[in-house]
Structure 1
Amino acid sequence: MTIDSDNLPGPLRWAVWLLRGEAVGVGLLAVFLVWSDLTGTASDLVSALFVTGFAVAGAAVLWVLATALAHRRAGARAPAIVLQLMLLPVGYYMIQGGLGWLGTPLIVLGVVVCGLLVSPSSTRALGVG
Structure 2
Amino acid sequence: MTTSDQAAPPPPPLRWAVRLLIGEAVALGLVAAYLVWQDLTATANDLATALLLTAFAVAGALALWALAVALRRRRAGARAPAIVLQLMLLPVGYYMIQGGLAWLGLPLIVLGLLVTALLVSPPTTRALGLG
Instruction: Specify the SS of the correspondent of 2:56.
Output: helix
Q: 5+ unaligned residues in a row in structure 1: which ranges?
A: none
Aligned length, in residue pairs: 128
Q: Runs ≥4 in structure 1, deviation > 4 angstroms?
A: none
Q: 5+ unaligned residues in a row in structure 2: which ranges?
A: none
Residue from 10, 13, 16 that aligns with 2:12: 10
Residue from 46, 49, 52 that aligns with 1:50: 52
| Percent of matched pairs sharing the same residue | 71
Scaled by the length of structure 2, the TM-score of the pair is 0.95
Instruction: Specify the SS of the correspondent of 2:43.
Output: coil
- 1:102 is matched with 104
Whole-Å Cα distance in 1 between the matches of residues 56 and 92 of structure 2? 15
Scaled by the length of structure 1, the TM-score of the pair is 0.96
Report deviation, 1:123: 0.2
Whole-Å Cα distance in 2 between the matches of residues 46 and 67 of structure 1? 31
Residue from 120, 123, 126 that aligns with 1:124: 126
CA root-mean-square deviation:
1.1
